[in-house]
Amino acid sequence: MDTVLVIMQKNKKTGLFEKELQTLNISKYEQYILNIYALEEDNSEIFLKIKLTTQKDVLDWEYNAIYDYYDLSIFEQLGYSINECEEEYNPTWEITIPYIDNNSDLVDIVNKILKIHYQELEEVYTIIKDKEGEYKNEK
């Protein structure tokens, strides 16, 4: 069953959502999306902001380990901007992509991003599973 996400455009000055742009039918990995919205920049170009996180709450030591081993360059190589959002409870990344009106193309892009994020997290979990001692000893 698909999850329907509503893409709302946020006003840059007020932070309020102004209008609905489109809906996206996401069929997999939707639990990794913390939020998603569109934002018009000063040059009138619209970008889609997608905050991705973990599918579960992480332990304190895992928080830093996940950030240490998560490879941001995967998204950068695709031409997307990605930033760590360290103010969130769980590891979170904000990916910025150009917004496009074509629904099927945008759905494909978002699904691709979600799949990459899922695969990267799975790899990170495998890498860090035996590193608890290293991270607990850092404190």
What span, in angstroms and rounded, lies between the C-alpha atoms of 46 and 87?
Answer: 25
Is pLDDT of 139 > 60?
Answer: no
Residue-wise pLDDT for 107-121, tens only, equals 999 999 999 999 999
The pLDDT, as a whole number, for residue 68 is: 95
Percent of the chain with pLDDT over 70: 99
Residue-wise pLDDT for 30-50, tens only, equals 999 999 999 998 778 999 999
What span, in angstroms and rounded, lies between the C-alpha atoms of 115 and 137?
Answer: 33
Using pLDDT thresholds of 50, 70 and 90, give the confidence band for residue 13.
Answer: confident
Tell me the average pLDDT of the chain: 93
The pLDDT, as a whole number, for residue 138 is: 66
Going by their DSSP bridges, the two strands 81-84 and 33-40 should be labelled as: unpaired
- Which residues span the domain enclosing 116? 3-137
Mean pLDDT of 62-82: 95
Which residue from 91, 97, 116, 82 is spatially nearest to 37, judged by alpha carbons?
97
Reported residue count of the chain is 139
What span, in angstroms and rounded, lies between the C-alpha atoms of 95 and 47?
Answer: 10
Using pLDDT thresholds of 50, 70 and 90, give the confidence band for residue 136.
Answer: confident
**Where is average pLDDT lowest: 13-17, 30-34, 89-93?**
13-17
Number of domains present in the structure of the chain? 1
| 60 close to 41: Cβ distance less than 8 angstroms | no
Percent of the chain with pLDDT over 90: 83
- First CA to last CA across the chain, in angstroms? 44
Q: Is the pTM of this model over 0.85?
A: yes
